Chain A
Amino acid sequence: MIINHPHLGPRDASEFTILGDASLINRPDWQARDADDAFYNYQYLRDNPAGLHRELWFHEQGDRSWLVVTRDTVTHAVIAVALASDIAKAAKAKTAQKTAPKKVAAKKTAAKKAVIKRNAT
């Protein structure tokens, strides 16, 4: 198989080591109330789809980047390749947004207030 590395172009799959489902990026919160269940789900349960599968490949004989490869498990066709760190950062940003909606709202209110204040002065 060929994996089209975002930085290095098409590389033979034998340069890589595969870990598995890209959901491993989404490591649960260790302090959450349901952490035991969440970690069990995270570590052991898999969608294992017949079709498109997002999975983690490590360019071990290359630049050592972890990639998220979207690949069809029935045809082996590779649909997309991205840097895992980009995806992980985006996922974290999203989680941060979700877990902190109040803060954002508070900021917005503060900003509004500021505007009002300025108008007032």
Chain B
Amino acid sequence: MRYSIWSLINQALTGNRNWTPVWREPEPKSHYDIVIVGGGGHGLATAFYLASRYGMKNIAVLEKGWIGSGNIGRNTTIVRSNYLLDGNEPFYEQSLQLWEGLEQDINYNAMMSQRGIINLYHSDAQRDSYVRRGNAMRLHGADAELLNQDQLRSLCPFLDYENARFPIMGGLLQKRAGTARHDAVAWGYARAADQRGVDIIQNCDVTDFLIKDGVCTGVETSKGTIRAGKIGVAVAGSTSRVMAKAGLRLPIESHVLQAFVTEGLKPVIPGVITFGAGHFYISQSDKGGLVFGGDIDGYNSYAQRGNLPVFEDVCEGGMAIMPMIGRARMLRNWGGIMDMSMDGSPIIDKTPIDQLYLNAGWCYGGFKATPASGLCFAHLLARDEPHKVASKLRLDRFRRGAMLDERGAGAQPNLH
């Protein structure tokens, strides 16, 4: 069923009784050309692009629980392409461009809202590094503007310009950045992939890989053996656990990142604002909740929950720059498990095992990457070579010394 205002009216007139399932609930076949392990945003997007852009057929997505139950369902919905490094910026800009046409591509309103992102700066050195970054973005075709304090004031009059411990001097603005409705991205890709014949199989846990002589030929699952020509794994958060079944150790640690949302409020925050010096970022959802977060807890965790020090650290950051949010009440806190890679950048690559491919290491930036990650992983699976915007996101870069370390923090995942 194609979605439009007409379908809504038509359904409204017939008591909303004729809506059809957004995706089928098929039983798995015994063989697929391509099996994607992981029914999160990246896995579903991969399946969609394989079917829609690479003409692949006979594809399955295997999801352990319900689709979208991983980090696509527990993030702060920010979409941006304000990266510094050559290996990252083209990829994220490609992603942003896909976001811009996403709703038309998948006929689903994921509420991509380009209300802009501002990274505040508090010192000359920070400003200099944002100028460098902004120029890198512009050279790669993205948009970036440097705001001085006056320009920032006109956009965000509510920031504490007078009394902040670290003076608010200005910001790096990317206007095309913004937010999207996270769950809808998973559902939209799932629906669009399903319509193109992709089998989305929920409650299907992959228990092992079928590997012989260094070649992967399928997976064992809670729903039986499924053989496949190629197997792509996109299970950020659980990557190490899953890939251990294939005998691989990876440059990844799992960490918990918490996020928070307040009760619904009338519009007060214009776009996304980040306070890097204080580990705080915030936006306001269409429903009115202030969505905010900060740093990871710092310790390895698979628990999808964190502890109070981060609540405090994040709220202190918020109060430090915008004390008008003090009376907004935090309604809900949640935690997601991040694939923290050793340089803070992701991996889309082949593995040492033939026919087994990996999409991992998204740290806390996976949501914005969803479309490009899907596209590039699809490209890799379909063509057996990296997509040009993902050519640096390689698994062997640590061995070669070609790290993509945006923060300059080195091989310590909890610092990225």
Contact = CB atoms under 8 A, between A and B. Distances in A.
Please say whether the chains A and B touch (CB closer than 8 A). Answer: yes
B303 A47 contact: no
A18 interface: yes
A94 interface: no
A48 B307 contact: no
Interface residues of B, number: 24
Contacts of A46: 240, 249-253
Interface string A31-73: 0000000001101111111100101000000000000000101
A22 B250 CA distance: 16
B299 A18 contact: yes
Contact of B251 (A45, A50, A73, A74): A45
B366 interface: no
Given A40-B399, A75-B303, A76-B303, A48 B254 contact: yes
- Determine chain B's interface SS by DSSP, over half rule: mixed
Contacts, number: 71
Interface string A9-40: 00001100111110000000000000000001
B77 interface: no
Contacts of A20: 253, 300, 412-414
B398 A50 contact: no
B157 interface: no
A45 B411 CA distance: 10
A48 B398 contact: no
Interface in A57-105: 71, 73-76
Given A1-B307, A40-B398, A45 B250 contact: yes
Contacts of A1: 299, 307
B411 A43 contact: yes
Contacts of A53: 300
Given A1-B307, A18-B298, A19-B412, A44 B398 contact: yes
B250 A74 contact: no
Contact of B240 (A18, A40, A47, A74): A47
A44 B302 contact: no
A48 B252 contact: yes
A35 B125 CA distance: 38
A44 B414 contact: no
A44 to B, nearest CB: 4
A73 B303 contact: yes
B299 A71 contact: yes
Nearest to A69: B299
A17 B250 CA distance: 24
Contact of B250 (A13, A40, A48, A55): A48
A40 B397 CA distance: 11
B414 to A, nearest CB: 7
Interface of B: 240-241, 244, 249-254, 298-303, 307, 309, 342, 398-399, 411-414
- A-B pairs, top 9 by smallest CB distance, nearest first, are A48-B240, A44-B251, A50-B302, A45-B249, A44-B398, A44-B342, A73-B300, A14-B309, A74-B302
Interface of A: 1, 13-14, 17-21, 40-41, 43-50, 53, 55, 71, 73-76
9 contacts: A1-B307, A20-B412, A43-B398, A44-B398, A48-B253, A53-B300, A55-B300, A71-B300, A73-B299
